[in-house]
Structure 1
Amino acid sequence: MPGLSPVFNARTAEASPAVLGILVCERDDRPPFAESAFLRRLDRIGSRRGLRVMAFAPWTWDWREGTVKGWTWDTGERRWITAREPLPAVAYDRAWPETDDEKRRYRAALRRLRENAKLTLLNGCLPHKGKVYESLAKIGSLRKLIPPTALYRGPDSLSEWLNEYAGAAFLKPIAGSKGRRVAAVSERRDGTVALTGRLNDNRPFRIEAANRREAIDRLARWIGDRSYLMQPLLELNNEDGNPFDLRALMQKDADGRWALTGIAARLGAAGTVTANLHGGGTAAPAYGTLARQFGECRGRELLRKATDASFAIAASLETSFGRMAEIGLDYGIDRNGKLWFLEANAKPGRAAMASAGASAASAAAERPLSYAKSILLRLATTDNRCSPQGNGC
């Protein structure tokens, strides 16, 4: 492809303003991409709202014709069918590249597409966790929610951290997701060390080390040259001793205003260190979970605090990193009832919202389409398809 932006001529296809593209990563098996069931649901909702939903991988873009290899759901044949389609004006990123090579391919293709074509991303993206923490820590009301955090810089940095935080630490990838490749370190009085966490495929592990040096060396080999963050090992467990957290889903409504879709509790499996659903956790109603742990009055107060924090965090992240359509926010609550912000996800799952109530589960799928349609209507009248500021992935 030439280095200059392509010149669109009479043969260049024009995208319909009533089409929402869904960015995916194609695969050879069936279904042809992840979240097929969710995309079919978007297709059903979109058809009721006069919005056509089409999935495509960014590397299928043909700059000469202005088309992509589009996937649409054929209700009659009950299968995904494909055809060359005009590049949509707006795209909703639900791609899940798996390997490092696939991640590089996806990012390069999306960057090429955005630099050379008119495409608005519905949902922006966030930088790594360290930058998110730094940004939120600048706001006084949010600073107290963020656990002490430092960059892992090798064995000596972890040893110093253990000295400062009573022989315990939680390590997580600076750019990880779904609870994968996290590790908890806990020294015992006899000098032995328990290492627990999750592997890259989200399977839990538990290792007993004879002493701190053995534990630190094991972790150093496991981490390798990856970037990690260190935090205190907070006691984020329920009354049964199993991990639990809260997932809040913030989404833009049809008017472009932030709305809290719902808050659900996520309960981790026994013997694990995280509550992620991808790692075997289950979802539960937030209030009931908190009431059992802290009592009804304190449970309501914690929900209110999580709600207030979610609106403040969503607004702050959007100010710092560009326009967003939705953000998943995770909170931990320690044994003393202290609320902690754990992380934010600009490409959140929504399975937990079923436990937040029927209206939350419905809104979780409908709100992105309502917001997308409002953007498409505006673009149809202004043809101002500028990408969201500052959210290039």
Structure 2
Amino acid sequence: MKRTKVKIQIQNAGLYPDDKIIMLSDALVKKWKIPTQSTLTLRFGSAKHEVRIVPLTQAGILRINDSMAAKCGLSHGDSLCIQFKLSTRTLQIGPLIGVMISRVYAGAVDKPFGAITAFSRELTDACKIYGASVFFFTPEECGSGDTLRGWHYAGKWVKSSFPVPNIIYNRLTARKLENRANVQQFIRHAKNQHQTVMFNEKYLNKTEVFDALRKETGLHIYLPESYLLRNFQMLKSMCTKYSTVFLKPITGSLGKGIIRVKRQPDNTYVCHFTNLNGARKQTFDSLSAMFSSLSGKIKQQRHQIQQGLNLISIGGRPVDFRALVQRNELGQWGITSIVARIAGNHHFVSNLARGGSLSSVKDALVRSNFPSGAEGNSKLRRAALAIAKGVETQIPGHFAELGIDLALDTQGRVWLLEVNSKPSKDDNTPLSGNESKIRPSVKQIVQYSRYAAKF
């Protein structure tokens, strides 16, 4: 669909005889038969203002006075999509995207959003190119009103007031922030009163994902046997069936807290615990002794028990794959990128936070013990797309971006390890290329936002 875009120009209110006047390119006024003798409604996010249109000879321009721009949260130079609906006499500009982030570091002028500051700048640049406006806000700013305070980039990071956005992109990094009463109240208000679309609205836990995907018969092939660990009997059953099992905190991330359990030929059990320096090892004479030692940890945080897999490896270091799957400008799932992640020395998980390194899929398959002739890349792509569609079908909530962690075993079979609804913006960095260029993953967020907001 061809979109019409305008560049926002802001002028001093004193230049206007009437502060309701806005000026729009004459070509658009004529094309859309926009009335110029009576008032219309200008909409930006939840903001609505009565305005009168005056034609302007300059092409592709919407000129607005500074007092109205401040009320709307518009910035000079914004490039926005524009549409006119004669039936409702509404001129709508946007979309306005609000990114919900965990915190702002007030003293850090150059990096106010910490590790995601560079991503936030990149998203701002992408909005200028593709026709949208973006601001960033924290749970502290969430209320039940029709405006909220947030930060946008205008040569430097500036805090301003914005209407409730068309789109909320959830980048909160803690469940407790998502579950705060004021955040949930704000989300309900935005959806119900302003038809705001929110995507990636919640964290997924490991057991929830596997239980849901089991309902899709076509996905069974990708699912290692796994359960919520409830008791000793379940541990015994899995450890009898498999020589290696993994215990994973169901709400964990970055490989934290994962325990690998290996049954030895003499029926002792070796546990490897992840830590930042590698893996700590502990041997137990019996399964009951191991369970007794782990019971405090398991009671404190629920764990998933999962079948161990014989993964491909490079130099004895396991390899897995992170597929970034996103909805596109037509709302359909597509693969944006897949990268291989190789575990660091002395680690059994591949997360970059644990010393892992990135590689292209092709290079990892060539260097690993993957069976020659097997179509690894196409198998990974098929699996990632099928799993994303399974999440959409079986898990309540609106998702538009998923990090899907997959593995290949030494027989060439694809396995699902985890689905992450808050994929890191660093894991998917291209392995080469121009850093000043907008990444496809960032471009996709803006394009899907335009689609979801019906621009």
TM-score, length of structure 1 as denominator length: 0.82
Q: Is the 8 A contact 2:323 2:335 kept in 1?
A: yes
Q: Distance in 2 between matches of 1:215 and 1:150?
A: 19
What runs of 5+ residues in structure 1 fail to find an aligned partner?
1-7, 379-393
Give the Cα separation in 2 of the matches to 1:62 and 1:229: 36
Count of residue pairs the alignment pairs up: 359
Structure 2 equivalent of residue 46 of structure 1: 127
Aligned to 1:335: 410
Q: Secondary structure at the match of 2:124?
A: helix
Q: In the TM superposition, what is the alpha-carbon distance from 1:297 to its structure 2 partner?
A: 4.8
Give how far 1:63 is off: 2.6
Alpha-carbon spacing, 1:58–1:237, altered in 2? closer, same or farther (3 Å): same
Residue in 1 that maps onto 2:306: 231
Partner residue, 2:329: 254
Higher RCO (CA 8 Å, separation ≥ 6 residues): 1
Q: Indicate the SS of the match to 1:273.
A: coil
Q: How does 1:8-27 map to 2 (within 5 A)?
A: 17-27=94-104
Judge conservation of contact 1:25–1:106 (CA < 8 Å) in 2.
no
Which residue is 2:148 aligned to?
A: 68
Residue number among 169, 188, 200 corresponding to 1:92 in the alignment: 169
Letter in 2 for 1:57: T
Residue number in structure 2 paired with 1:298: 373
User: Which residue is 1:109 aligned to?
Assistant: 182
Q: Which has the higher strand share?
A: 2
Tell me if 1:216 matches 2:285.
no
Check 1:353–1:71 CA distance in 2 against 1; reply closer, same or farther (3 A cut).
Answer: same
Match of 1:309 in 2: 383
Counterpart CA distance in 1 for 2:294 and 2:209 is 25
**Aligned residues of 1:154 and 1:220 also touching (Cα < 8 A):** no
Aligned residue in 1 for 2:138 = 57
| Conservation of the 8 A alpha-carbon contact between 1:14 and 1:87 | no
Q: Which residue of 1 aligns with 2:57?
A: none
Higher helix share: 1
- Computing the radius of gyration from Cα coordinates, the structure with the larger value is 2
The Cα shift of 1:248 comes to: 1.0
Query: Aligned residue for 1:194?
Result: 270
What are the within-5 Å matches in structure 2 for residues 174-189 of structure 1? 174-189=250-265
Contact 1:283/1:355, CA 8 A, preserved across alignment: no
Contact 2:141/2:148 (CA < 8 Å) preserved in 1? yes
Does the 8 A contact of 2:122 with 2:438 survive in 1? no
Q: Confirm whether residue 36 of structure 1 aligns to residue 117 of structure 2.
A: yes
* CA offset digits 1:61-112 (Å, max 9, x no partner): 3434x2222011242x4xx322232221211111213xx7xx1565433311
Any unmatched runs of 5+ in structure 2? 1-46, 50-70, 74-92
- The structural deviation recorded for 1:9 is 11
Partner deviation per Cα, 1:103-155 (whole Å, 9 max, x = no partner): 15654333111222333213344642223212222333310110011221134
> Take 1:328 and 1:298, find their aligned partners in 2: how far apart are those partners?
27
Q: 1:249-288 alignment to 2 at 5 Å? A: 249-288=324-363
Q: Secondary structure at the match of 2:368?
A: helix
Which residue of structure 1 lines up, in the alignment, with residue 392 of structure 2? Answer: 318
Q: Which amino acid aligns with 2:165?
A: P
Q: 1:144 to 1:105 in 2, by over 3 A?
A: closer
Pair 110,83 (structure 1): closer, same or farther in 2 beyond 3 Å = same
Of all paired residues, the percent bearing the same amino acid is 26
Q: Using a 3 Å threshold, how does the CA distance of structure 1 residues 47 and 131 change in structure 2: closer, same or farther?
A: same
Q: Which amino acid letter does the alignment assign opposite residue 164 of structure 1?
A: K
Note if contact 2:229-2:302 (Cα within 8 Å) is conserved in structure 1: yes
**Partner residue of 1:157?**
234
Residue 221 of structure 1 deviates from its aligned partner by 2.0
Please tell me the residue identity of whatever aligns with 2:215. Answer: K
CA distance 1:361–1:196, change in 2 (3 Å): farther
